Amino acid sequence: MGPTSPDFDQIPEICRRELEEWDQQIKRLGETLMGILCKGLGLETDRLKEMTCLEGRFLDQMGGLQVKHGEDWVEVKPLAGALVINIGDILQMISNDEYKSEEHRVVANSFREPRVSSAVFFNPSKREDIYGPVLELISLEKQALYKQFTLSVGVYEGISLKRFRWKASPIDHFKLW
């Protein structure tokens, strides 16, 4: 869903209204979160509105989400009513490393109980636009760490596959040094 809505006529009528409402709520959540993150960077709250690049995850109490800390995988303890927000690689690059993306995974639970998790990705919709470190975050003291890039088909997506094939971060491909 969002930032570009699907063709709701293609969604079965039995759940269309609910998905349209969900889509609107998720878009508002993404915009709110990006506004908060912009404020944390000292930017106007709508500065990155078109560049929403987060992953939100609603988890049940079964757990299974882990983040990589150094060489170790650390369990993220479920908290009732909480929303887990992962900073993505694109946000790390446009924030010029002010925000860091972290490798994460979901592992099977040992209890063999059903788990409910809903992941929502907030990605920029304009694939032809040029992205890179936000100009307001670059100075003589902190120069740009990443080159500019587009999200055209095959470019970022192909580089992202390196994480899975060769255990390399796609961010390394865009570093200037």
Domain 14-174 has CATH 1.10.3720.10: no
Cis preceding linkage at 3, omega within 30: yes
Cα separation, 32 vs 106, in Å, equals: 26
Phi then psi dihedrals of residue 58, to 5 deg:
-95, 125
Q: Is 118 helix (H, G, I), strand (E, B) or coil?
A: strand
- Where are the alpha helices (H) located in the chain, listed in sequence order? 13-40, 89-94, 156-165, 171-174
Q: Is 124 exposed, middle or buried (0-12, 13-18, 19+ CB in 10 A)?
A: buried
Say what the pTM is: 0.79
177 residues of the chain, pLDDT tens digit each: 445 667 888 889 999 999 899 888 888 888 888 899 999 999 999 888 766 566 666 666 777 889 999 999 999 888 887 888 888 888 899 999 999 988 888 887 776 777 777 778 777 666 677 888 999 999 999 999 999 888 765 555 556 655 556 566 778 888 897
Query: What residue spans define the domains of the chain?
Result: 14-174
